Structure formats: C-alpha cells, structure tokens
A and B are shown apart, each in its own frame.
Chain A
C-alpha cells in the first residue's frame, strides 16, 4: 500500500496540465468563443490579428480564434465518443474471449489478429469508403478500427488474472462467473486499458484531423482543425497564418497527450542525477559531512 502511495506521489502530475487545459477549453468553448465560428462576414475577410479578431479572419470573414476554440470542442467530443465506444467494444470482446476460452476464444483472437494486421487508419478509411463520408460515419469507422487493440490487451489481462490463485478460491467459495468477473477481473482490465487509452488519445485526435483533412471526416461549415488547414492551403502563399494556426493547435494537443503517454512508459528507467539538482544534493551531502565531523571532534575532545 505504501508503495502505491509513493507511486502516486512520485508521478509527474504536471504532465497532466496541458491535457486538462485542452479538455477545459473543449468543455467551455461556447463561452470562450467571441463569434459564431461558422458566421461569415464578407466585410472582414482575411484580416490580420486585431483586438476584434485575435487570430484574424479567414477568407469568408470567420473569426479564426473562435474557430480554433470550436475545433477543440469538436476534436474532444469526437475523440471521447470513439474512445469510450472502442473501449466498451474492445473490453467486452477481449474479456469475453479470455474468460470463456476454448474455441470461442480462438475464433475471436483470429478476428482481432486480422483486424490488427492492418493499421487502424487504413481500416477506418476503408470503412468510410463503404459507409460514405460524414461525421457519424467517421465516428463509426474510427470506433470499428480502434477496438481491436483494446480487445487484445483485455484478453491478455483476463488470461493472466484467471491464473491467480484467488480466482480459484473465489470459485470454490461459490462465487458466480459474473461476480468473479466484475469484482475481481474487470478492475485489472480497466486499470491497464484506460492508461493505454489516455496515451492513445493523441493518436485518435491525429486520426480525426487527418480524415477531415482528406475531406472524409467533419464537413466544412463545422470548425475542425484538419479541415481548417486544408481550407487554408489555397492561401498558403499570402496568408500562411490560416494553415499554421490550426496546425499548431492540433500539434500542441497531440504533444500533450504524447507527453502523458511517455510519462506512463518511462517511469521505470533510471537516469543519472545532473545539473542543478546534483549541485543541490552535493551541497546537502557536504553540509551533512561537516556536521558529522564537528560532532565527532566534539566527542573526541570531551
């Protein structure tokens, strides 16, 4: 228990803050936006940054700042829906396969393996080709492309947990399958999968933007970063701002999630102490040593 507490304390909580900021901006977007992100104003097209329009306006006179904030909301919502849906499907199928075992497991694993034989985004593209373009078909396609990873992970955890002696003990004591699963196994599965998913969220934000950039995701009037970027490409020579601003917003969000993922992954690697921290620790050690010498001298002279 103490080691758990220590882990929580040692964890670099600061890493979470950019992600939290992104989520807050997404949630409170309607209050942050000064303009309707879709409102066109032909009297104020392609303006530079000003007090009225912090980031300027685009070729239809839409306020870029509002569109970027609105884009955060779109990305956040789409990502959350896909993540939750993919998690639900993946954990259900994976856990079921792992718990039931036998031939059912074999079939499900084969399906998972086939799904994992292709990069997720290629699967999503193929599904969009079949379903047609649009917001919900993008959500559906991404969900169906993303679940397999979680399924494989869940199955691995369930299989490992089933080997634990306490499961056998619970069974002997007459616990039902559902009870054992929900009470003993599911927490382990969710523990691992949710950590993985939070780091994976960055990849999902990228995927959503990429699909929109390719014209296969969020459709034009809605502000979406990838779509804003492709819109701005025609003006790249005179107004690179139209491309750079949404691109920066997107990159910042993905960097935040990747930092989070790295913090999870790199926790265990020991690194030598350097720089200011090392100087501080050396000074502390030297002071300690002087104190000891003084104490020993005093004792010797007494």
Chain B
C-alpha cells in the first residue's frame, strides 16, 4: 500500500507546461528520487505535492485520501513535511527555536496560556524542547542550539532544515537537494541520515543532483525531462535507459553550447 500517490500531475506557467502528466507512488520506508536536468520541473513537482502551488491537473493522494491543492499547514498535520532547495530557515531565531517551530502542531495550545505563561504551556514547551534537543543531537547541532540560525554554515543549515522537518510526526519527507553545496563529509552524513530515516519507516521523496548519492540510496528513481516523466525504475535500470542518457547528454551539450555562446 503506497503512502503517497501522484497521478497525472501537471501545471502550466504562462502557457509553458512546467510539469506535465507525472505519476508515481512512494511506500513507507522507501526512498524515491526524482532526477532530471536543470529546469526539468523537479522543484515545481515538489511545490505541487507539498501544497505550495495549486496543480493545474492531476491528483495527489496521501494515505488514499485526495489532498490535491491542500494548503501546506494542513498537509503537515497529515505527516507530510519538506525542505527547500534554497534554504528557508528562520534566520533571526535561534537554532533551537527553528526546530521548536517544527513542533508547532504538538506544542501549541490556547493563546491565553501562551500570553499568561500558564503551567500548561510550560509543560508542552518542555516536552517539545526535549524532542528538539534530541533531533539537534541527531544532526549534530546540539552544541549550537542557542546560536542565531543566521550564523551557521551552509551545510549546518541544510541539516537544521532536516531536523526541523522531522519535528512533525513525519511520515513522508520531501527533500529538495539536501546535499547541494555540501562537501564530501557532509554529503556522506546526509546520506546516512536519509538511510536511517527510511529504515525507521519514513517515506522519502528526494530531489538530488549528486548522482552517486542517488544511485547508492534510492529504491526507485523517477526521471523528468522538460516536465515529463521519461523513465522510471530501480537505479540499475534507469542508468542504462537510452532516453535518460540522451536527456542528460543533451542537457550537457546545450549547456556547453550556451557557455560557448
């Protein structure tokens, strides 16, 4: 039984089909990667699944329930969580507060309790704080907990974003280029973290440019080009697919041509 089902999803920007008729499914504990050349529509696909964009066509189902176009904060309640390609960190908040924000659904209660600093609020906050510290330890940021998030290095921010995304009772996690801009050591850490998360039963949907990482950890790969799905299968099958090779080589040729011109 799949946790996430995407059927015939598509969206058009200014007459241009950014994503067209894409379908796939993700099961609990499975790592599914979406790959493709730049501009293939991967992030747009993520934005539609996570409710940031309203899809023009098609359907997104979570647990068999139609959630097409459901706003992100309601998807979060159903256990769908994500990170962003271009980091969306709460810069002016502390590292700990960033993760605590991820506990919003679990720790928030009445506004009156918050204004009056009632014991109930402290109880909820303390529980969230323990959980958040646990997550920070897991991504090795526990020592930086009281620092302002804006002062962290790029790689650390990437991990912070994952920790924040895990703070919900996450059942499916969408990771948009978690290893981009990270060095080899950091990439390996993220690699381990993703494998661990999948082993604990969380479904992972991954967009990543680091092909070695993708081939190593994915159970299943979906290949997009010009907004359309051109291939799908296990890493070995996909990497031998002539269309996939053509898409990547073609992309490289165009990029080379662009560089010359």
Q: Do A and B come from one complex?
A: no
Chain B interface (Cβ < 8 Å from any Cβ of A): none
Chain A interface (Cβ < 8 Å from any Cβ of B): none
